[in-house]
Amino acid sequence: MAKGGYVTTHALDTSLGRPASGLKVEVYRLDGESRTHIASMATNADGRTDQPVIGGEDIAEAVYELVFHAGAYLDKTLGASDGVRFLDTIPIRFGVSDASQHYHVPLLLSPFGYSTYRGS
């Protein structure tokens, strides 16, 4: 397939009812047990990254992993935890089957749960 697709993300803090600003996101491509780091970035004031998390020459038909650093974000927004946080890093693995398409992988986050889906 022709390249030209890209992957975006959007993080919303459902406990506060607002975008999750300043949430660190790391991006990896997986090949079996091998994991290749593609990029690191943080969400902006709207809870989105300023650029696609994967795009251009980096996108291919493959399995990817977004790692959201929720613990650090929650410490910053809610205050440091007295003990171990229920959520620290949240890995979301997903497949790109057509590298010419747009894939949107949002994160809905609270201190005790999260969800994701393929958005538009």
Every domain of the chain and the residues it spans: 6-115
User: Alpha helices, DSSP H only, in 47-102?
Assistant: 70-78
The pTM assigned to this predicted structure is 0.94
At residue 2, the pLDDT reads 52
- Mean pLDDT per block of 10 residues along the chain (120 residues) reads 83 97 98 95 98 92 97 93 91 96 97 96
At residue 1, the pLDDT reads 43
CB atoms within 10 A of CB 24: 15
Sheet holding 89-96, edge to edge: 34-42, 24-31, 62-69, 89-96
Which CATH code for domain 6-115? Answer: 2.60.40.180
